[in-house]
Structure 1
Amino acid sequence: MLSLHDSSTRRQLLQIGAIGLGGLSLPSLLQAKSKAPSFLLDRSVVVLNLQGGPTQFETFDPKPQAPREIRSITGHIPTALTGVEFGGSFPLLAKLADRMAIIRSYRHGISSHGPAAMHVMAGGNPTGAMMGALFARVAGLTDPTTGMPNNTLVTPPGMGEKYKGLYVSVDRVSQTGSLNPSYKPFDPSAGGQILDNMKLNVENGRLDDRRSLLTRFDDLRRRLDTSGRLSAATEFQQQAFDVLARGVSDAFDLNKESPELLARYETGEFEPTDAVKKRNAYAKQFSPIALGRQMLLARRLCETGCGFVTVTCGGWDMHGGGKEFTMRDGLDSLTPAVDRAVSAFIEDVEARGLSKKILLVITGEFGRTPRINKNGGRDHWGNLCTLAFVGGGLNMGTVIGRSDRTASEPDSNPISSSNVLATVMHSLFDIGELRVQTNIPRDVEQIITSGKPIAGLV
């Protein structure tokens, strides 16, 4: 393997082609560019998973005409869409509603955390594999052009020690079901299949530290550029080097962004107050909220070739009662963080001309009960769930479906998890081309091609 010592030789440089990513050498991955599957569209998906069960009332369906014990406790705010209102803690997103598609009739009927979370992330498909795993099974473990993992998970701890975040369940968003476990998402904060295979023999250690990866490759590039050895490599070998030195490693380095953009995304200030932590035992685990940095990293990963990114944000299980947040205490921190992080993401992606190439899906395992309980919280509710889409070439500036007067169930156009799965897969694949492929398992192909996308979006 390539050495990082001063005795590096041209022969050792050429050995970079043997660095494995998912069982393939980097040059072979790059050479595959011209052989990219015809059914794979030039798009990426980011799923923002609000773990715990985000309320439909205080997000996108505030029901201002409902009785006080039902309607949004954060009030309501007009949006860029005439006659459409959001919860009162979403002023930035309200201005961008014309870039969004809000679904007000999504239901699956499951009100238990684990089963509901896995059902939503799998789109209810019978294999039990999460949508990201299905995508990686068909598209490949890595992007053929850059070598980036095609299925990646971004959790709060991955943003740094101070962002330990509230507890999030990785298992609930990373199951591969009956598929091979190799299709689990790459978790840059905790290791993963791709990371295990991306090695250099440096003091016999694995490069599982992104900062170490960045430092070592930057040092090597400087020395090789000075010596002229890099120019001796073949075209693909030089590109392979760039994948590691400027592609994969750089994608994880948020310091490559301008201070102004970092500030636009920053959500660390929304940490719950000491008084809130004293009232809610669960909140004592809560650190500064990392969501803004997570969303910025998701955008960078998509730009570098990752096809499916899952971003987790915990704390949405707001029952009240002294353990979990009350609605008021939880929403005071979480909804402003989502408002800032997601609005920054939408505007950033649009400014880069990527709105049609990156689809953002905002959801959670279920919604919350119509009535506020005696503890100031809302309980689990699978009969109506929070769901919104942004970009990805879908039709934006619309509200699809309608909930009943108490936002407890769909009143028109009920949307299922299979509709969500089909919508996401239609954004990622040319379904007609995929149907005629012979190298994809029939059951996987059927899951992806037989579903019905949400009418009005695709």
Structure 2
Amino acid sequence: MFSLHDQCLRANQLERREWLRVGGLSALGLTLPQLLQAKHSTAAPSPRLSGELGSTFGQAKNVIFLWLQGGPPQHETFDPKPDAPAEIRGPFKPISTNVVGIQISELLPRTSCYADKMAIVRSLVTRDENHDVSGYWLLTGYPYGPGTARQIKPGDWPYFGSVVKMLKPSEKLPALTSVWIPDMMRLNDNVTPAGQTSGFLGKLWEPERFVGDPAAPNYDIEGLRLIGDVTKIQVDRRRDLLRQLETGFDALARNDQVGAWDRLSQQAFELLTSGGARAAFDLRQESDKTRDRYGRYTWGQSVLLARRLIEAGVRLVHVNWARDPGDNAVDNPLWDTHALNADRLQDNLCPQFDVTFSALMDDLSDRGLLDETLVVVIGEFGRTPKINANGGRDHWGHVFSFAMAGAGIQGGQVIGASDKNGAYPATTPFTGGDLTATIFHLLGIDPSGVFHDKLNRPHPITKGEPIAAMLTNASVKIELRPSEGDMTFVPPFDTRLLFDPEFDTKLSLIAPAPPVRDKGWRAFPTLTTQAATGLIVQKDHKCLRMGFGLHESPLDTVLEQGTSALLAQEIRNARGGQYTLTILAGGDASTADVFDSVFVANFTFRLALFRFNDIRKDPRAVTELASTEFVPNFGKPELFTLDRFLGSTTPGSNFAIGSGLGIRVVIEKKTPGQLVLSQDLRASAALRIESVCLS
């Protein structure tokens, strides 16, 4: 039992539960200390700093660090290669930005309007193709090695945000100097790699991580609320009690661990009694117009939250591109586009980034924050110059791009260059050390300084150099022009899995293997693809028919065994997970007898989920992953459903999206021999589909 009178008790024998029992943080009636305990349970002493904090440039008061986890492709973002071969340049074109002479990908039409505020670097390197190792260098400023950085270790070099927390604490909210939202960086097998913790600095300097989806209707940070009827006055009284207890333990206070624990308790008090901290996380205070402008998805609302946090006084907000549901075990999660690079970029990734980034730039400018806020856009590496067999690009650390804007940055310029294929640097390369040195420099932290660890060993803050060309330079002359970006080419992010589910748009049916990347329903045969008599797929207003006799013909209809018709569509942004395919369908025919005794008696009707066999995406050449047969009734439509889990059930094993997933409805003649329908009888029968739903 712990006793207040035990003068012989040594600090290193004092366990946290004993602190809590003597009226410490557990007496507060709070939840935040519990949150801090989980991260700081073995809090180490604060390092003794050597030398002065740099009074160098210091133009940035805060930083919003946009981490595009997975590795965005340089070719389809900031370094297009229009003169390279098709298998390197990809299907997208460059567009001219609002600065004469600077082009970026047409997938970023809104971003192109802010080139005058941005400095783009096209010769960043890590020379490593591992998410963990490459990311470690960029997030710490130091290369990892030897081996991989898949495991967080106490001796890791600290994340640069931890150094910022130690050397440049927030004046308004010291406890929230460095914040990470909305989740940690995780690999596909749920590994949390090194480079995102305080490492050998100790747990006291961990960034504060708030895991959760800011786009969720019930988003809330429980740790910032007082429990029950506990008031601020009661919290202040309990803090005074804790201070009185600490006064009687001067010997204990000299112990590093207890001293660190005291700092953590003070951080807890600061957050709980700070109305500004609680208010900053309350996105309900933003107008619907602003929230819509950023995008009502995790990325958009996370970046909006970042703006609110730096406005409240947070020094550094790291916004990690979070995984979509089903992203944990697929071969193209996040920006890691090993498959379907073009589709993922145009349908999912670039619409979210482009809309949200432009909203942030406008918002910061309108609020007078852009001149004091550094905005960084970067991923852990780039992607291979050559597109692979699944239409994807693989890991590539030999050269890639990033961008900075805002405080201290000279916009309207491109720094460095890659070669003609975007494969290797054509000019002097920059490293993760140069990246962190630039950030430290702009925050007023001397990147050439040192600090000492708990063993009093000196460590350089970074071994890189600030990228001088990025910094404000009056000699740079910018000529502005209207951007060529076409925002209709990259509309705002659309979460629908299928286009035209009720057949009520003007979209036409598409041939099974179109020569371009058309989106929508693909059908075979149609009147435009099949001149001979037989089965036909035909779109009418608010319905679709699949059957025979749907058009006039002077010839008899002859249907062989195996004759089929199909309606198919690729699933937009396909992920692993539970899929439910439902159609509302019934039967049309010249007579009920023709429908039952001819159509239903000779044909099968099937719903299927499938994977394309190759990048041509022909729905006739697929591997069915799940299917079910159904029998429609003449007249009144009914619901028919296929429900199936598509994904890996083995931890660490990926489910292959491959060349894409899709759904299809197939009708096929199953009976042997020929079915001959005389044109004189004018017999017709069809499956009438009124809607298709995929969830």
Superposition TM-score, scaled by structure 1 size: 0.70
> Alignment partner for residue 395 of structure 1, among 410, 426, 442?
410
**For residue 365 of structure 1, what is the aligned residue in structure 2?**
380
Q: Does residue 453 of structure 2 align to residue 447 of structure 1?
A: no
Q: Deviations over 1:91-122 (max 9, x none)?
A: 10001111111001111101111111111111
Cα distance 1:297–1:217, how it changes in 2: closer, same or farther (>3 A)? farther
Cα distance 1:217–1:65, how it changes in 2: closer, same or farther (>3 A)? farther
Give the Cα separation in 2 of the matches to 1:112 and 1:383.
12
SS in 1 for 2:469: coil
Q: How far did 1:75 drift?
A: 2.2
Q: How far did 1:256 drift?
A: 1.1
Cα distance 1:317–1:331, how it changes in 2: closer, same or farther (>3 A)? farther
Cα distance 1:438–1:415, how it changes in 2: closer, same or farther (>3 A)? closer
**For residue 433 of structure 2, what is the aligned residue in structure 1?**
418
> Alignment partner for residue 107 of structure 1, among 125, 133, 136?
125
**For residue 419 of structure 2, what is the aligned residue in structure 1?**
404
Q: How far did 1:175 drift?
A: 2.4
Q: How far did 1:375 drift?
A: 1.0
Cα distance 1:188–1:429, how it changes in 2: closer, same or farther (>3 A)? same
**For residue 198 of structure 2, what is the aligned residue in structure 1?**
176
Give the Cα separation in 1 of the matches to 2:310 and 2:457.
28
What's the Cα RMSD here? 3.7
Alignment of 1:263-278 (within 5 A): 263-268=292-297
Give the Cα separation in 1 of the matches to 2:468 and 2:272.
39
SS in 2 for 1:356: helix
Give the Cα separation in 1 of the matches to 2:75 and 2:66.
18
Cα distance 1:340–1:251, how it changes in 2: closer, same or farther (>3 A)? same
Whether the 8 Å contact between 1:251 and 1:300 is mirrored in structure 2 is yes
Aligned residues: 362
Q: Does residue 229 of structure 2 align to residue 210 of structure 1?
A: no
Cα distance 1:39–1:439, how it changes in 2: closer, same or farther (>3 A)? farther
Question: Which structure's residues are more often strand, by fraction?
Answer: 2
**For residue 85 of structure 2, what is the aligned residue in structure 1?**
67
> Alignment partner for residue 259 of structure 1, among 279, 288, 308?
288
Whether the 8 Å contact between 1:39 and 1:429 is mirrored in structure 2 is yes
Give the Cα separation in 1 of the matches to 2:338 and 2:136.
21
Q: Does residue 350 of structure 2 align to residue 350 of structure 1?
A: no
**For residue 145 of structure 1, what is the aligned residue in structure 2?**
172
- Give the AA of the match of 1:387: F
Question: Which structure's residues are more often helix, by fraction?
Answer: 1
Give the Cα separation in 2 of the matches to 1:181 and 1:419.
26
Whether the 8 Å contact between 2:84 and 2:421 is mirrored in structure 1 is yes
Alignment of 1:371-390 (within 5 A): 371-390=386-405
- Give the AA of the match of 1:210: I
Cα distance 1:100–1:73, how it changes in 2: closer, same or farther (>3 A)? same
**For residue 470 of structure 2, what is the aligned residue in structure 1?**
457
Cα distance 1:62–1:266, how it changes in 2: closer, same or farther (>3 A)? same
Whether the 8 Å contact between 1:217 and 1:244 is mirrored in structure 2 is no
SS in 2 for 1:56: coil
Alignment of 1:123-272 (within 5 A): 123-124=141-142, 128-140=157-169, 143-155=170-182, 171-172=193-194, 174-189=196-211, 210=221, 213=224, 244-268=273-297
Q: How far did 1:55 drift?
A: 0.5
Alignment of 1:275-314 (within 5 A): 290-313=298-321, 314=323
Q: How far did 1:189 drift?
A: 2.0
**For residue 446 of structure 2, what is the aligned residue in structure 1?**
431
Whether the 8 Å contact between 2:111 and 2:358 is mirrored in structure 1 is yes
Structure 2: which 5+ residue stretches go unaligned?
Answer: 1-27, 38-52, 145-155, 213-218, 235-268, 324-333, 472-695
Cα distance 1:84–1:72, how it changes in 2: closer, same or farther (>3 A)? farther
Greater RCO, 1 or 2 (C-alpha within 8 Å, sep 6+)? 1
Q: Deviations over 1:380-431 (max 9, x none)?
A: 1010123110112221221101111001111113211111111000011253
- With 84-93 and 124-133 compared, the bigger mean Cα shift is at 124-133
Cα distance 1:425–1:189, how it changes in 2: closer, same or farther (>3 A)? same
Q: How far did 1:123 drift?
A: 1.7
- Give the AA of the match of 2:470: L
**For residue 336 of structure 2, what is the aligned residue in structure 1?**
317
**For residue 286 of structure 1, what is the aligned residue in structure 2?**
none
- With 102-111 and 177-186 compared, the bigger mean Cα shift is at 177-186
Q: How far did 1:49 drift?
A: 1.0
- With 40-49 and 248-257 compared, the bigger mean Cα shift is at 40-49
SS in 1 for 2:273: helix
**For residue 332 of structure 1, what is the aligned residue in structure 2?**
347
Give the Cα separation in 2 of the matches to 1:130 and 1:436.
15
> Alignment partner for residue 71 of structure 2, among 53, 56, 59?
53
**For residue 114 of structure 2, what is the aligned residue in structure 1?**
96
- Give the AA of the match of 2:275: R
Superposition TM-score, scaled by structure 2 size: 0.47
Give the Cα separation in 2 of the matches to 1:345 and 1:416.
27
Cα distance 1:214–1:104, how it changes in 2: closer, same or farther (>3 A)? same
Q: How far did 1:246 drift?
A: 2.4
Give the Cα separation in 2 of the matches to 1:123 and 1:137.
16
Q: Deviations over 1:9-58 (max 9, x none)?
A: xxxxxx99xx98989xxxxxxxxxxxxx8859561112111111111011
Give the Cα separation in 1 of the matches to 2:338 and 2:311.
38
Give the Cα separation in 1 of the matches to 2:429 and 2:101.
21
Give the Cα separation in 2 of the matches to 1:49 and 1:177.
20
- Give the AA of the match of 1:146: L
Q: How far did 1:211 drift?
A: 5.6
Cα distance 1:217–1:45, how it changes in 2: closer, same or farther (>3 A)? farther
Give the Cα separation in 1 of the matches to 2:271 and 2:464.
39
Larger radius of gyration: 2
SS in 1 for 2:338: coil
Q: Deviations over 1:272-306 (max 9, x none)?
A: xxxxxxxxxxxxxxxxxx11111111111111221
- Give the AA of the match of 1:188: F
- Give the AA of the match of 1:373: N
Whether the 8 Å contact between 2:102 and 2:413 is mirrored in structure 1 is no
**For residue 202 of structure 1, what is the aligned residue in structure 2?**
none
